[in-house]
Chains A and B, each alone.
Chain A
Amino acid sequence: MRRFASYPDFREGFVEMLPAAVALVPFGLVCGVGAAAAGASLAGAIGLSAIVFSGAAQILAVQLLAAGAPLAVIVLTCFVAGLRFLIYSAAMAPYLRPLPARWQNGLAFLLTDQAFAAAVRRFDAGGDARAAGAHFLGSGFALWAFWQLTNVAGYFAGNLIPPAWSLDFAVPLCFIALVAPHFRTSPTIVAALVAGVGVLALASLPMKLNLIVAGVAGIAAGTLADFAKERWTAR
Protein backbone atom coordinates (compact mmCIF):
# COMPACT_ATOMS: atom_id res chain seq x y z
CA MET A 1 0.00 0.00 0.00
CA ARG A 2 2.87 2.38 0.84
CA ARG A 3 4.27 1.93 -2.67
CA PHE A 4 0.92 2.91 -4.22
CA ALA A 5 0.52 5.80 -1.78
CA SER A 6 3.65 7.39 -3.26
CA TYR A 7 1.98 7.65 -6.69
CA PRO A 8 0.67 11.21 -7.17
CA ASP A 9 -2.36 9.84 -9.06
CA PHE A 10 -3.22 7.49 -6.19
CA ARG A 11 -3.17 10.39 -3.74
CA GLU A 12 -5.14 12.56 -6.19
CA GLY A 13 -7.81 9.86 -6.51
CA PHE A 14 -7.93 9.38 -2.74
CA VAL A 15 -8.37 13.12 -2.07
CA GLU A 16 -10.88 13.62 -4.91
CA MET A 17 -13.08 10.86 -3.48
CA LEU A 18 -13.13 12.32 0.06
CA PRO A 19 -16.23 14.54 -0.44
CA ALA A 20 -18.15 11.55 -1.83
CA ALA A 21 -16.80 9.33 0.99
CA VAL A 22 -18.01 11.86 3.56
CA ALA A 23 -21.38 12.00 1.80
CA LEU A 24 -21.59 8.19 2.12
CA VAL A 25 -21.27 8.40 5.93
CA PRO A 26 -25.08 8.29 6.52
CA PHE A 27 -25.40 5.39 4.01
CA GLY A 28 -22.67 3.46 5.87
CA LEU A 29 -24.32 4.21 9.21
CA VAL A 30 -27.64 2.84 7.89
CA CYS A 31 -25.86 -0.37 6.79
CA GLY A 32 -24.17 -0.73 10.21
CA VAL A 33 -27.47 -0.13 12.01
CA GLY A 34 -29.09 -2.81 9.85
CA ALA A 35 -26.33 -5.36 10.58
CA ALA A 36 -26.71 -4.80 14.34
CA ALA A 37 -30.51 -5.05 14.07
CA ALA A 38 -30.16 -8.37 12.21
CA GLY A 39 -28.17 -9.76 15.15
CA ALA A 40 -24.81 -9.88 13.38
CA SER A 41 -21.63 -10.03 15.51
CA LEU A 42 -19.14 -7.18 15.05
CA ALA A 43 -16.93 -9.51 12.97
CA GLY A 44 -19.94 -10.50 10.85
CA ALA A 45 -20.87 -6.84 10.26
CA ILE A 46 -17.28 -6.03 9.24
CA GLY A 47 -17.23 -9.14 7.01
CA LEU A 48 -20.33 -7.83 5.21
CA SER A 49 -18.98 -4.33 4.65
CA ALA A 50 -15.37 -5.36 3.87
CA ILE A 51 -16.03 -8.36 1.59
CA VAL A 52 -19.47 -7.74 0.05
CA PHE A 53 -18.65 -3.98 -0.14
CA SER A 54 -21.94 -2.91 -1.71
CA GLY A 55 -24.43 -0.79 0.21
CA ALA A 56 -27.44 -2.01 -1.78
CA ALA A 57 -26.51 -5.71 -1.30
CA GLN A 58 -25.70 -5.20 2.40
CA ILE A 59 -29.06 -3.54 3.12
CA LEU A 60 -30.93 -6.30 1.29
CA ALA A 61 -28.91 -9.00 3.11
CA VAL A 62 -29.52 -7.68 6.61
CA GLN A 63 -33.23 -7.03 5.92
CA LEU A 64 -33.69 -10.60 4.66
CA LEU A 65 -31.55 -12.06 7.52
CA ALA A 66 -33.68 -10.18 10.06
CA ALA A 67 -36.82 -11.49 8.35
CA GLY A 68 -35.48 -15.06 8.59
CA ALA A 69 -35.37 -15.66 4.82
CA PRO A 70 -33.66 -18.88 3.61
CA LEU A 71 -29.98 -18.60 2.66
CA ALA A 72 -30.72 -19.34 -1.02
CA VAL A 73 -33.21 -16.43 -1.22
CA ILE A 74 -30.76 -14.01 0.42
CA VAL A 75 -27.91 -15.00 -1.87
CA LEU A 76 -30.05 -14.82 -5.02
CA THR A 77 -31.52 -11.40 -4.12
CA CYS A 78 -28.11 -9.89 -3.38
CA PHE A 79 -26.69 -11.41 -6.55
CA VAL A 80 -29.52 -9.99 -8.68
CA ALA A 81 -29.14 -6.54 -7.08
CA GLY A 82 -25.40 -6.76 -7.78
CA LEU A 83 -25.90 -7.67 -11.45
CA ARG A 84 -25.43 -4.00 -12.32
CA PHE A 85 -21.74 -4.61 -11.55
CA LEU A 86 -21.69 -6.87 -14.66
CA ILE A 87 -22.62 -3.85 -16.71
CA TYR A 88 -20.19 -1.53 -14.91
CA SER A 89 -17.53 -4.18 -15.47
CA ALA A 90 -18.30 -4.25 -19.19
CA ALA A 91 -18.19 -0.45 -19.37
CA MET A 92 -14.83 -0.33 -17.52
CA ALA A 93 -13.26 -3.12 -19.62
CA PRO A 94 -12.08 -0.95 -22.56
CA TYR A 95 -10.48 1.56 -20.17
CA LEU A 96 -8.64 -1.13 -18.18
CA ARG A 97 -7.46 -3.11 -21.24
CA PRO A 98 -3.96 -1.49 -21.34
CA LEU A 99 -3.31 -2.47 -17.70
CA PRO A 100 -1.71 -5.74 -16.51
CA ALA A 101 -4.09 -8.56 -15.44
CA ARG A 102 -3.06 -8.14 -11.79
CA TRP A 103 -4.26 -4.51 -11.85
CA GLN A 104 -7.48 -5.43 -13.67
CA ASN A 105 -8.35 -8.11 -11.10
CA GLY A 106 -7.48 -5.88 -8.16
CA LEU A 107 -9.33 -2.79 -9.41
CA ALA A 108 -12.40 -4.94 -10.14
CA PHE A 109 -12.86 -5.49 -6.39
CA LEU A 110 -13.14 -1.72 -5.87
CA LEU A 111 -15.80 -1.28 -8.58
CA THR A 112 -18.77 0.45 -6.91
CA ASP A 113 -21.38 2.92 -8.18
CA GLN A 114 -19.36 5.90 -6.94
CA ALA A 115 -15.94 4.61 -8.01
CA PHE A 116 -17.35 3.69 -11.43
CA ALA A 117 -18.70 7.21 -12.00
CA ALA A 118 -15.41 8.79 -10.91
CA ALA A 119 -13.27 6.35 -12.92
CA VAL A 120 -15.23 6.94 -16.16
CA ARG A 121 -14.69 10.69 -15.75
CA ARG A 122 -10.94 10.21 -15.11
CA PHE A 123 -10.34 7.73 -17.95
CA ASP A 124 -12.39 9.86 -20.39
CA ALA A 125 -10.14 12.81 -19.57
CA GLY A 126 -7.40 10.84 -21.38
CA GLY A 127 -3.74 10.44 -20.54
CA ASP A 128 -1.76 7.44 -19.36
CA ALA A 129 -3.93 4.41 -18.51
CA ARG A 130 -1.60 3.40 -15.67
CA ALA A 131 -1.96 6.86 -14.08
CA ALA A 132 -5.75 6.63 -14.41
CA GLY A 133 -5.54 3.13 -12.89
CA ALA A 134 -3.59 4.46 -9.90
CA HIS A 135 -6.23 7.20 -9.58
CA PHE A 136 -8.95 4.53 -9.58
CA LEU A 137 -7.04 2.59 -6.89
CA GLY A 138 -6.79 5.73 -4.76
CA SER A 139 -10.47 6.65 -5.07
CA GLY A 140 -11.59 3.04 -4.59
CA PHE A 141 -9.40 2.62 -1.49
CA ALA A 142 -10.72 5.89 0.00
CA LEU A 143 -14.29 4.65 -0.41
CA TRP A 144 -13.47 1.20 1.00
CA ALA A 145 -11.67 2.59 4.07
CA PHE A 146 -14.40 5.15 4.88
CA TRP A 147 -17.05 2.51 4.29
CA GLN A 148 -15.56 0.23 6.98
CA LEU A 149 -15.31 3.09 9.51
CA THR A 150 -18.90 4.25 9.00
CA ASN A 151 -20.32 0.71 9.05
CA VAL A 152 -18.63 0.03 12.40
CA ALA A 153 -19.81 3.40 13.73
CA GLY A 154 -23.37 2.57 12.66
CA TYR A 155 -23.09 -0.88 14.27
CA PHE A 156 -22.31 0.68 17.67
CA ALA A 157 -24.10 4.04 17.54
CA GLY A 158 -27.12 3.10 15.43
CA ASN A 159 -29.79 3.18 18.11
CA LEU A 160 -28.59 6.63 19.25
CA ILE A 161 -29.88 8.12 15.98
CA PRO A 162 -33.56 9.21 16.31
CA PRO A 163 -35.86 7.71 13.62
CA ALA A 164 -37.36 11.19 13.10
CA TRP A 165 -34.12 12.18 11.35
CA SER A 166 -35.06 9.84 8.47
CA LEU A 167 -31.38 8.93 8.03
CA ASP A 168 -32.40 6.13 5.62
CA PHE A 169 -33.34 8.85 3.08
CA ALA A 170 -29.59 9.51 2.69
CA VAL A 171 -29.37 6.24 0.74
CA PRO A 172 -31.54 7.29 -2.26
CA LEU A 173 -29.97 10.78 -2.10
CA CYS A 174 -26.51 9.24 -2.70
CA PHE A 175 -27.83 7.50 -5.81
CA ILE A 176 -29.63 10.68 -7.00
CA ALA A 177 -26.31 12.55 -6.79
CA LEU A 178 -24.84 9.92 -9.14
CA VAL A 179 -27.67 9.72 -11.67
CA ALA A 180 -29.02 13.29 -12.04
CA PRO A 181 -25.92 14.72 -13.82
CA HIS A 182 -26.47 12.13 -16.60
CA PHE A 183 -29.84 13.64 -17.64
CA ARG A 184 -28.38 15.84 -20.40
CA THR A 185 -29.34 13.99 -23.60
CA SER A 186 -32.75 12.77 -24.78
CA PRO A 187 -31.77 9.04 -25.02
CA THR A 188 -30.52 9.16 -21.42
CA ILE A 189 -33.83 10.63 -20.26
CA VAL A 190 -35.73 7.96 -22.23
CA ALA A 191 -33.59 5.24 -20.55
CA ALA A 192 -34.33 6.64 -17.08
CA LEU A 193 -38.07 7.09 -17.77
CA VAL A 194 -38.52 3.51 -19.00
CA ALA A 195 -36.47 2.12 -16.10
CA GLY A 196 -38.32 4.27 -13.56
CA VAL A 197 -41.84 3.47 -14.77
CA GLY A 198 -40.88 -0.20 -15.13
CA VAL A 199 -39.44 -0.62 -11.63
CA LEU A 200 -42.59 0.84 -10.01
CA ALA A 201 -45.01 -1.02 -12.30
CA LEU A 202 -43.27 -4.35 -11.61
CA ALA A 203 -42.91 -3.75 -7.84
CA SER A 204 -44.82 -6.96 -7.09
CA LEU A 205 -42.08 -9.18 -8.61
CA PRO A 206 -40.28 -11.19 -5.90
CA MET A 207 -36.67 -10.72 -4.79
CA LYS A 208 -36.24 -7.30 -6.37
CA LEU A 209 -36.36 -8.81 -9.87
CA ASN A 210 -38.11 -5.59 -10.96
CA LEU A 211 -34.74 -3.82 -10.59
CA ILE A 212 -33.07 -5.97 -13.24
CA VAL A 213 -36.05 -6.23 -15.64
CA ALA A 214 -36.68 -2.46 -15.55
CA GLY A 215 -32.96 -1.64 -15.71
CA VAL A 216 -32.41 -3.77 -18.80
CA ALA A 217 -35.59 -2.36 -20.44
CA GLY A 218 -34.33 1.16 -19.74
CA ILE A 219 -30.93 0.42 -21.28
CA ALA A 220 -32.61 -1.06 -24.39
CA ALA A 221 -34.94 1.96 -24.70
CA GLY A 222 -32.04 4.39 -24.35
CA THR A 223 -30.03 2.56 -27.01
CA LEU A 224 -33.01 2.51 -29.43
CA ALA A 225 -33.61 6.23 -28.80
CA ASP A 226 -29.92 6.87 -29.51
CA PHE A 227 -30.11 5.10 -32.90
CA ALA A 228 -33.42 6.88 -33.72
CA LYS A 229 -31.91 10.25 -32.85
CA GLU A 230 -28.83 9.52 -34.99
CA ARG A 231 -30.99 8.58 -37.99
CA TRP A 232 -33.15 11.69 -37.51
CA THR A 233 -30.19 14.09 -37.36
CA ALA A 234 -28.42 12.37 -40.31
CA ARG A 235 -31.32 13.20 -42.65
Chain B
Amino acid sequence: MDGALKLWSVVVIVGVLNYLSRVSFIAIFARRHVPVLLARAFRYVPAAMLTALVLPMIVVAPGTPVIASAPRIVAAIVAGVVAFVTHSTLKTLATGMLTLWVLQLAGSAFG
Protein backbone atom coordinates (compact mmCIF):
# COMPACT_ATOMS: atom_id res chain seq x y z
CA MET B 1 0.00 0.00 0.00
CA ASP B 2 1.23 3.51 -0.87
CA GLY B 3 2.70 5.26 2.21
CA ALA B 4 0.58 8.42 1.97
CA LEU B 5 -2.62 6.41 1.42
CA LYS B 6 -1.80 4.23 4.45
CA LEU B 7 -1.14 7.28 6.65
CA TRP B 8 -4.41 8.95 5.62
CA SER B 9 -6.28 5.68 6.18
CA VAL B 10 -4.89 5.66 9.73
CA VAL B 11 -5.87 9.33 10.20
CA VAL B 12 -9.46 8.81 9.03
CA ILE B 13 -10.18 5.40 10.61
CA VAL B 14 -8.48 6.11 13.97
CA GLY B 15 -9.97 9.62 13.94
CA VAL B 16 -13.49 8.24 13.51
CA LEU B 17 -12.96 5.43 16.08
CA ASN B 18 -11.48 7.88 18.61
CA TYR B 19 -14.43 10.24 18.15
CA LEU B 20 -16.91 7.36 18.57
CA SER B 21 -15.14 6.38 21.83
CA ARG B 22 -15.32 9.98 23.04
CA VAL B 23 -18.98 10.53 22.16
CA SER B 24 -20.25 7.01 23.05
CA PHE B 25 -21.50 7.31 26.61
CA ILE B 26 -22.16 11.03 26.35
CA ALA B 27 -24.76 10.15 23.70
CA ILE B 28 -26.03 6.93 25.40
CA PHE B 29 -26.44 8.34 28.90
CA ALA B 30 -27.69 11.72 27.73
CA ARG B 31 -31.27 10.53 28.19
CA ARG B 32 -30.93 8.14 31.16
CA HIS B 33 -29.15 7.87 34.50
CA VAL B 34 -25.83 6.14 34.97
CA PRO B 35 -26.22 2.93 37.07
CA VAL B 36 -24.95 3.30 40.66
CA LEU B 37 -22.24 0.64 40.34
CA LEU B 38 -20.91 2.24 37.15
CA ALA B 39 -20.93 5.68 38.76
CA ARG B 40 -18.86 4.25 41.63
CA ALA B 41 -16.41 2.57 39.23
CA PHE B 42 -15.91 5.84 37.28
CA ARG B 43 -14.13 7.37 40.30
CA TYR B 44 -11.21 4.99 39.79
CA VAL B 45 -10.84 5.40 36.02
CA PRO B 46 -8.19 8.15 36.00
CA ALA B 47 -5.98 6.51 38.66
CA ALA B 48 -6.09 3.06 37.01
CA MET B 49 -5.91 4.02 33.32
CA LEU B 50 -3.27 6.73 33.66
CA THR B 51 -1.06 4.52 35.86
CA ALA B 52 -1.32 1.72 33.27
CA LEU B 53 -0.46 4.20 30.51
CA VAL B 54 2.51 5.80 32.25
CA LEU B 55 4.45 2.92 33.86
CA PRO B 56 5.59 1.23 30.61
CA MET B 57 7.03 4.61 29.51
CA ILE B 58 9.21 4.80 32.65
CA VAL B 59 10.28 1.20 33.23
CA VAL B 60 12.19 -0.11 30.21
CA ALA B 61 11.33 -3.43 28.62
CA PRO B 62 11.83 -6.60 30.70
CA GLY B 63 15.20 -8.26 30.06
CA THR B 64 17.24 -5.03 30.11
CA PRO B 65 19.19 -4.24 33.29
CA VAL B 66 17.18 -2.37 35.93
CA ILE B 67 20.01 0.18 36.20
CA ALA B 68 19.09 1.47 32.72
CA SER B 69 15.71 2.78 33.87
CA ALA B 70 16.80 3.75 37.40
CA PRO B 71 17.24 7.50 36.62
CA ARG B 72 13.78 7.56 34.98
CA ILE B 73 12.17 5.76 37.92
CA VAL B 74 13.73 8.15 40.47
CA ALA B 75 12.82 11.21 38.35
CA ALA B 76 9.25 9.90 37.99
CA ILE B 77 8.90 9.46 41.78
CA VAL B 78 10.21 13.01 42.41
CA ALA B 79 7.80 14.35 39.75
CA GLY B 80 4.94 12.37 41.32
CA VAL B 81 5.55 13.97 44.73
CA VAL B 82 5.66 17.45 43.13
CA ALA B 83 2.43 16.74 41.21
CA PHE B 84 0.73 15.47 44.40
CA VAL B 85 1.68 18.60 46.34
CA THR B 86 1.39 21.34 43.69
CA HIS B 87 -1.23 20.00 41.18
CA SER B 88 0.86 21.84 38.56
CA THR B 89 1.75 20.17 35.24
CA LEU B 90 4.42 22.78 34.57
CA LYS B 91 6.19 22.29 37.93
CA THR B 92 5.92 18.50 37.58
CA LEU B 93 7.48 18.64 34.12
CA ALA B 94 10.28 21.00 35.21
CA THR B 95 11.33 19.02 38.31
CA GLY B 96 10.99 15.69 36.50
CA MET B 97 13.18 16.72 33.57
CA LEU B 98 15.75 18.45 35.82
CA THR B 99 16.01 15.40 38.08
CA LEU B 100 16.50 13.12 35.06
CA TRP B 101 19.20 15.38 33.57
CA VAL B 102 21.09 15.61 36.90
CA LEU B 103 20.94 11.80 37.37
CA GLN B 104 22.05 11.17 33.77
CA LEU B 105 24.96 13.61 34.19
CA ALA B 106 25.93 11.94 37.47
CA GLY B 107 25.59 8.54 35.81
CA SER B 108 27.88 9.45 32.91
CA ALA B 109 30.38 11.10 35.29
CA PHE B 110 30.66 8.16 37.68
CA GLY B 111 29.45 5.24 35.59
Contact = CB atoms under 8 A, between A and B. Distances in A.
Contact of A86 (B11, B24, B57, B97): B24
A131 B18 CA distance: 26
Interface in B10-67: 10-15, 17-19, 21-30, 33-34, 37-59, 61-62
A52 interface: yes
20 contacts: A52-B11, A57-B14, A71-B1, A85-B24, A89-B21, A90-B24, A93-B28, A169-B100, A172-B72, A173-B92, A176-B92, A180-B83, A181-B87, A187-B44, A189-B47, A192-B48, A196-B51, A199-B52, A200-B62, A223-B44
A109 B19 contact: yes
Interface residues of B, number: 72
Contact of A89 (B8, B25, B46, B96): B25
Nearest to A20: B89
Interface of B: 1, 3-4, 6-15, 17-19, 21-30, 33-34, 37-59, 61-62, 72, 75-76, 79-81, 83-84, 87-90, 92-93, 96-97, 100-101, 104
Given A91-B45, A109-B23, A203-B61, 10 more contacts: A44-B11, A65-B10, A79-B14, A94-B29, A104-B27, A105-B23, A173-B97, A176-B80, A214-B48, A215-B52
Contacts of A150: none
Closest 5 CB pairs of A and B: A218-B48, A222-B44, A180-B83, A90-B25, A93-B29
Contacts of A166: 97, 100-101, 104
A112 to B, nearest CB: 9
Q: Categorize the interface residue count of chain A.
A: 35 or more
A interface, by DSSP: helix, strand, loop or mixed?
Answer: helix
A78 B17 CA distance: 9
B11 A51 contact: yes
Contacts of B87: 181
Interface of A: 19-20, 22-24, 26, 38-41, 44, 47-48, 51-54, 56-57, 61, 65, 71, 74-75, 78-79, 82-94, 96-97, 101, 104-105, 107-109, 111, 113-114, 116-117, 164-166, 168-183, 187-189, 191-192, 194-196, 198-200, 203-204, 210-211, 214-223, 226-227
A177 B83 contact: yes
A87 to B, nearest CB: 5
B27 A199 contact: no
B100 A183 contact: no
B91 to A, nearest CB: 8
